[in-house]
Chain A
Amino acid sequence: GNSVTQMEGPVTLSEEAFLTINCTYTATGYPSLFWYVQYPGEGLQLLLKATKADDKGSNKGFEATYRKETTSFHLEKGSVQVSDSAVYFCALMFETGGGNKLTFGTGTQLKVEL
């Protein structure tokens, strides 16, 4: 079936370090791919998305490229800040012939320290 696999957390980085959070997926067809972020006590916020192969989503310094050949959508940021500390979820949405749903990874907690 369709699924998303994310790297286990927590990931702990120093401020200004480079961030990569790996995400791979299994899906039939051509899903849309998303990264959401969840801050403590809040709902999910869309960080970025890509809807076709080789698309690059970007927002607030975060980037991810839809790689069909490696079925991956890794999240990167060149220089993290303490305020980036949160849980990051990779998700996909695929055609079902009816309504759709987001299928999420397990989430990766990021802690950024001074």
Chain B
Amino acid sequence: KAGVTQTPRYLIKTRGQQVTLSCSPISGHRSVSWYQQTPGQGLQFLFEYFSETQRNKGNFPGRFSGRQFSNSRSEMNVSTLELGDSALYLCASREGLAITDTQYFGPGTRLTVL
């Protein structure tokens, strides 16, 4: 099976703009989660979607939002970009919602905010 894919791989934006990142999960996986990775804060959970419903949300401002489509593909959106939003954004998919279900990660989208 193909792995998790994320597009684009790299993005450069300026402060105040908005950005949309896309994630295609492994075929058959219904859960998609998003994480932010920065040198200072490490890996932080943003949100998880399952069957088009947000199931869990991390401690991020409302500028960060997401959605999931009926084919399980997911997008996350960041509005009014700030310098501190520069990070690697990782998407992960898994089959279900059990804590034994492994999350498989994509290669990430590197966002740079100038």
Interface residues of A (CB under 8 A from B): 31-32, 34, 36, 42-46, 49, 51, 89, 93-96, 98-107
B56:A100 contact, CB within 8 angstroms? yes
Report B2-35 residues with CB < 8 Å from chain A CB: 4, 6, 31, 33, 35
A46:B104 contact, CB within 8 angstroms? yes
> What residues on A are CB-neighbors of B99 within 8 Å?
31-32, 51, 93-95, 100
With contacts A42-B107, A43-B106, A89-B43 known, is A101 near B58, CB below 8 A?
A: yes
Tell me which of A32, A43, A99, A102 contacts B107 (CB under 8 A). A43
A44:B105 contact, CB within 8 angstroms? yes
Report B45-104 residues with CB < 8 Å from chain A CB: 45, 48, 50, 54-56, 58, 90, 92, 97, 99-100, 102-104
Given A51-B99, A101-B45, A104-B43, 16 other A-B residues pairs in contact with their CB atoms under 8 A: A43-B4, A43-B6, A43-B90, A43-B105, A45-B105, A46-B102, A46-B103, A95-B99, A96-B56, A98-B56, A99-B31, A99-B33, A99-B50, A101-B56, A103-B45, A104-B42
Chain B residue with the shortest CB-CB distance to A45: B105
- State how many residues of chain B have any CB contact under 8 Å with chain A: 26
> What residues on A are CB-neighbors of B42 within 8 Å?
104-107
> What residues on B are CB-neighbors of A36 within 8 Å?
105
- Give the shortest distance, in Å, between A104 (CB) and chain B (any CB): 4
- Give the shortest distance, in Å, between A40 (CB) and chain B (any CB): 12
- Give the shortest distance, in Å, between B95 (CB) and chain A (any CB): 13
